[in-house]
Amino acid sequence: MSEITRSKAANKRAERARKKTAPLGDDIDLSAYSQEAVEHPYEEDPSRLQPQDKERILEAGVVLDDPSQRSGTFLQIDHSVVHSKAGQEGLEVMSTVKALEEYPWLEDYWWRAVASNADKFTAQAELHQNHGYFIRALPGVKAIQPIQACLYIAQHGLAQNVHNIVIAEEGSELHIITGCATAQVIEREGLHIGISEFYVKKGAKLTFTMIHNWAPKMAVRPRSGIIVEEGGTFLNNYISLKPVRTLQMYPTAQCVGENALVRFNSVLVAAPGTTLDVGARAILGARGTRAEVISRAITTGGTIIARGHLVGKVAPVKGHLECRGLILSEEGRIHAIPELEGLVEGVDLSHEAAVGKIAEEEIEYLMARGLSRDQAIAAIVRGFLSVDIGGLPPQLEAELQRAVELSEKELL
């Protein structure tokens, strides 16, 4: 199929799915959000942004005042690309719109890992795309520092529809931290639809860490697909610690090459009025592939649905699901939904889940050693939220710890 034909086909499929309800998550009236945005000027120096915007963006792990800490930066506000620059040779960072203009071959990746007609959210992203980022590591190139990307919503009532493409070419190593946030207005409403396609080539490694810093009335619908080739590694870390009205995401990784590895780690906090429906699926389709889906969830009054789905299509493969949840309010709810699907003899798939309140004996143990009740609960929650994810470069690990520490001040 030619590039033009392929592009038209994706568009036609999206047209037919314009009103297709998603199988998971609350339904959303897309017409309630505006498709028209005020244009923001391009900034050669993103540190010139307003201090209050930089603070919100920093809380999502994106540093604008010291570019030496990053190998590249992409910043989009509403529908405008405000800054885009790669700081290391062999790395590329730009808008996907610009990338499609420069690289006709990128059409071969467009809607390959995610279907344009999956639901009305993917359809809207295809029919009304507002940029998104293209990040690529050339063959054999290893990022010295993480690349950072921020998708920021400043305009009230706006729908932001982005399509992101990330490619780690053969033998490369790429670390990305992406922060999604809204302006610091408590009543800010909006819709974020984020399509992300990841391609990890033979022997490559891609670490993707996403920190969400939304507003209490935001609706968020990420749609992600990952394709991992022989010997490739994809590590995904997702952190959502601030209130958001409704968020639903269920990324799917396809391990198509032998000895491919995927890991999904999530740390979730649901305040009153927040509904988080978060999970991950891994399809183990080649010999020696492995997958882990690990989530830690705390509710202080909101709802968390923690999903996981492992599919073993060949043998030998190995996968594990794990969900641990703490309920800190009588109104809070955590629902763990693990699925294991073995299609042939010899697959090794497992899961474990534990959801409940803090054990009273743990509190009493710490109180006997001099802590007050509140201090004891705080210490237990802090330990539960402590992020210990292997394989991260020090910069990314520091950003995760900083995000957790910021959330503790509000949570505790």
Domain span including residue 261: 3-358
Task: Copy the structure tokens of residue 92.
Answer: 């590329």
Residue 96 pLDDT more than 70? yes
In terms of domains, do 236 and 126 share one?
A: yes
Q: Do 295 and 399 belong to one domain?
A: no
The mean-pLDDT minimum among 90-94, 127-131, 148-152, 370-374 falls in 370-374
Contact 291, 259 (CB under 8 A): no
The predicted model gives 298-312 an average pLDDT of 95
| Cα 146 to Cα 177: distance, rounded to the nearest angstrom | 7
Domain end call among 342, 358, 374: 358
pLDDT tens sequence across 16-31: 999 999 999 999 999 9
Query: Count of alpha carbons within 13 Å of 277, Cβ hemisphere only?
Result: 17
Q: What is the DSSP letter of 60?
A: T
Place of tokens 């009493």: 364
CB 111 within 8 A of CB 125: no
pLDDT tens profile 223-244? 999 999 999 999 999 989 889 9
pLDDT at residue 242, rounded to an integer: 86
* Residue finishing a domain among 341, 358, 375: 358
Mean pLDDT of all residues in 201-206 = 98
pLDDT digit string, tens, across residues 357-407: 887 888 888 888 888 887 787 777 777 776 566 555 566 667 666 666 665
> Are 284 and 178 part of one and the same domain?
yes
Q: Which residues of 32-69 are buried (b: 16+ CB within 10 A; e: fewer)?
A: ebeeebeebeeeeebeebeeebbebbbbbbbbbeebee
Taking all residues of the chain, what is their mean pLDDT, rounded to a whole number? 90
The DSSP letter of residue 142 is: B
In 128-155, which positions are buried (b, 16+ CB within 10 angstroms) versus exposed (e)?
ebbbbbbbbbeeebbbebbbbbbbbbbb
Higher-pLDDT residue of 8 and 269 is 269
Query: How far apart, in whole angstroms, are the C-alpha atoms of residue 234 and residue 351?
Result: 20
pLDDT per residue as tens digits for the range 334-358: 999 999 999 999 999 999 988 888 8
Three-state secondary-structure class, residue 268:
strand
Residue 2 has pLDDT above 50, yes or no: no
388 and 370 share a domain? Answer: yes
Contact by Cβ (8 Å): 181, 60: yes
Reported residue count of the chain is 412
Take residue 306 and report the two structure tokens written for it.
């923690």
Selection from 296, 148, 171 nearest residue 233 by Cα? 171
Do residue 384 and residue 342 come from a single domain? no
Specify the pLDDT at position 391. Answer: 54
Residues 404 and 275 in one domain: no
Q: What is the number of other CB atoms lying within 10 angstroms of the CB of residue 294?
A: 18
Q: Does 67 share its domain with 197?
A: yes
pLDDT bracket for residue 152 (50, 70, 90): very high
Higher model confidence: residue 192 or residue 390? 192
Least confident of 119-123, 156-160, 220-224, 239-243: 239-243
